[in-house]
């Protein structure tokens, strides 16, 4: 009798583990989730091909002569590219959500098996206790056979061992799934941030397009008027640079290498994800043609279509921000950000379309602080990136150092010529 009861318990426990309906339903759900994930990945591939084509078109426009038409066309293509990037980010978020749901389903199934296994183990232990609590004499009197008693005990002990091994395997599998779920949730949080950044880019593009519409109105959509305005900006920019050069040449400063890190790759990170240098630091060919009053280029220019995320080259604090375009006839950096880092270096990001940080704000390495643009004086959308010795750079109001200037109320960073560093020595 006891042996028969043990076999009945054994079979019941095996059935308790099976739970076939639950596993079948979950398998169907997993298949549906997998189909949705594959569909989302296919959409991402199509969008990435579109983005590559937009980039090809933007490169072609960048090599054309700067005209009113080319500027407007460049903004239109950039907006389409950014919209595609937003769609890619959204699809990646959707895919990650589906992956998390699939993992949650696996975890739920394993937790159910574990709970049923624990219940089964408890039942086994209780039956073993009942069997083992009976004296040998009681068992013989009830069954008439000692062999049935030992068979009962042996059967239950074997099942207990198998069950414990099964529970151990399930716990390991659950830990792996929870770890995978945690990684996916972290990825999901990062993708949400990226999607929000891309949405901000589109906003920046809309702002810039409004500025271009204003320019179209100002020029009455006439190319000759546009070129006249460009020439006026060029002359004003040269006068501005001459004034700054005069000021910076008078500033006394002794460079101290001990206050800054030694030159080396990776001291600073690149401020853009895609790097295309259009002008280097120092005595470049453009500088030799007469630009910068013969003193060389004080930073590095990177090609960047309007709305490209600009990232802090190192953690630090935003020392100042500004917009020289607020003052008519002041053609300089346009919208700019100055970040002071803890290692004795400061970095400037100029010609932005949107400033995403505030003075005094702490920023992390790689954090998006703004978006590239074409503000101030520039021959096309790009990022101007300058590296200073922090002890040499200062903020000045141009009206305080020059009586006649269109930039009297503009505040910009200036530094002695010795305090400018070659960014490529640190990137």
Q: Give the Cα separation of 427 and 313 in Å (integer).
A: 8
User: What is residue 6's predicted lDDT score, i.e. its pLDDT?
Assistant: 47
Secondary structure of 4-35 as H, E, C letters: HHHHHHHHHHHHHHHCHHHHHHHHHHHHHHHH
Dump pLDDT digits (tens) for 226-253.
888 888 888 877 777 777 777 777 787 7
Query: What domains appear along the chain, each with residue ranges and CATH number?
Result: 2-206 (no CATH), 226-425 (2.70.70.10)
pLDDT score of 118 more than 90: no
Interval 175-194 mean pLDDT:
78
Mean pLDDT across the stretch 136-146?
53
Reading the block at residue 87, the tokens are 């769609």
pLDDT digits (tens, 9 = 90+) for 266-285: 999 999 998 999 988 876 55
Long-range contacts, stretch 223-228, CB < 8 angstroms, 24+ apart? 223/67, 223/68, 223/69, 226/67, 226/68
Of 21-25, 101-105, 205-209, 307-311, the poorest mean pLDDT is in 21-25
Q: Which two tokens stand for residue 21?
A: 């309906």
Token pair of 182 as six digits: 């945690």
| Residue 381 scores a pLDDT above 50 | yes
Query: How many residues in total does the chain contain?
Result: 427
Q: How is residue 282 annotated by DSSP?
A: B
Those residues with Cβ within 8 angstroms of residue 121's Cβ, 6 or more apart along the chain or in another chain: 160, 163, 164, 167
Q: Torsions phi, psi of 70, nearest 5? A: -65, -35
Q: What is the pLDDT of residues 356-375, one digit of tens each?
A: 999 999 999 999 999 998 88
Distances (CA, A) of 180 to 40, 117, 187, 209: 20, 23, 11, 43
Distance separating alpha carbons of residues 47 and 370, to the nearest angstrom: 24
pTM above 0.85, yes or no: no
Cβ count within 10 A of residue 211:
15
DSSP string, 296-309: -BSSEEEE--TT-E
Q: Report how far apart, in Å, the C-alpha atoms of 176 and of each of 95, 107, 159, 316 are.
A: 20, 10, 26, 37
| Cα–Cα distance, 245 to 256 (Å, whole number) | 22
Angle at 273 between CA 267 and CA 277, to 5 degrees: 80
Query: What is the H or E stretch that residue 273 is in?
Result: none
209-218 confidence digits (pLDDT tens): 777 787 788 8
* Residues 311/316/317/321 CA torsion (nearest 10 deg): -30
Q: Identify the residue with better confidence: 48 or 408.
A: 48
pLDDT higher than threshold 70 for residue 11: no
pLDDT-based confidence at residue 19 (cuts at 50, 70, 90): very low
Q: What is the largest CA-CA distance in the chain?
A: 119
Residue 3 confidence (pLDDT) = 43
Q: How confident is the model at residue 392 (pLDDT cuts 50, 70, 90)?
A: very high
Report in angstroms the alpha-carbon separations of 10 from 116, 156, 186.
14, 8, 43
User: How many separate helices (H) and strands (E) can be counted in the chain?
Assistant: 8, 12
């Amino acid at each position: 009798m006891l042996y028969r009861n043990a076999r009945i318990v054994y079979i019941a426990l095996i059935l308790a583990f099976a739970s076939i309906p639950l596993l079948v339903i979950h398998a169907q759900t997993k298949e549906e989730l997998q189909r949705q994930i594959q569909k989302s990945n296919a959409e991402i591939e199509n969008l990435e091909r579109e983005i590559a084509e937009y980039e090809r078109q933007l490169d072609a426009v960048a090599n054309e002569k700067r005209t009113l038409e080319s500027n407007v066309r460049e903004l239109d293509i950039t907006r389409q590219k950014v919209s595609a990037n937003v769609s890619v980010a959204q699809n990646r978020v959707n895919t990650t959500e589906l992956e998390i749901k699939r993992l949650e389903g696996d975890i739920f199934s394993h937790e159910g098996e574990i709970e049923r296994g624990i219940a089964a183990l408890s039942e086994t232990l209780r039956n073993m206790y009942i069997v083992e609590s009976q004296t040998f004499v009681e068992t013989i009197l009830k069954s008439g056979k000692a062999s049935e008693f030992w068979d009962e005990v042996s059967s239950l002990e074997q099942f207990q061992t198998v069950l414990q091994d099964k529970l151990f395997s399930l716990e390991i599998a659950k830990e792996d799934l929870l770890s995978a779920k945690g990684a996916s949730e972290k990825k999901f949080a990062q993708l949400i941030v990226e999607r929000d950044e891309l949405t901000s880019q589109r906003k920046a593009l809309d702002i810039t397009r409004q500025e271009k519409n204003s320019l179209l109105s100002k020029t009455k959509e006439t190319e000759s008027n546009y070129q006249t305005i460009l020439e006026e900006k060029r002359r004003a920019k040269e006068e501005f640079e001459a004034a700054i050069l005069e000021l910076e040449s008078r500033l006394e400063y002794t460079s101290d290498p001990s206050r800054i890190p030694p030159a080396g790759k990776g001291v600073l990170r690149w401020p853009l994800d895609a790097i295309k240098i259009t002008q280097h630091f120092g005595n470049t060919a453009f500088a030799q043609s007469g630009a910068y009053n013969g003193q060389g280029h004080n930073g590095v220019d990177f090609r960047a279509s309007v709305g490209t995320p600009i990232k802090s080259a190192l953690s630090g604090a935003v020392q100042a921000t500004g917009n020289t375009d607020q003052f008519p006839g002041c053609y300089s950096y346009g919208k700019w950000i100055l970040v002071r880092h803890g290692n004795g270096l400061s970095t400037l990001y100029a010609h932005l379309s949107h400033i995403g940080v505030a003075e005094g704000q702490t920023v992390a390495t790689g954090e998006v602080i703004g978006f590239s643009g074409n503000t101030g004086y520039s021959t096309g959308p790009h990022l101007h990136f300058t590296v200073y010795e922090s002890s040499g750079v200062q903020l000045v109001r141009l009206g305080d150092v020059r009586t006649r200037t269109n930039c009297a109320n503009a505040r910009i960073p200036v530094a002695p010529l010795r305090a400018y560093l070659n960014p490529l020595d640190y990137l």
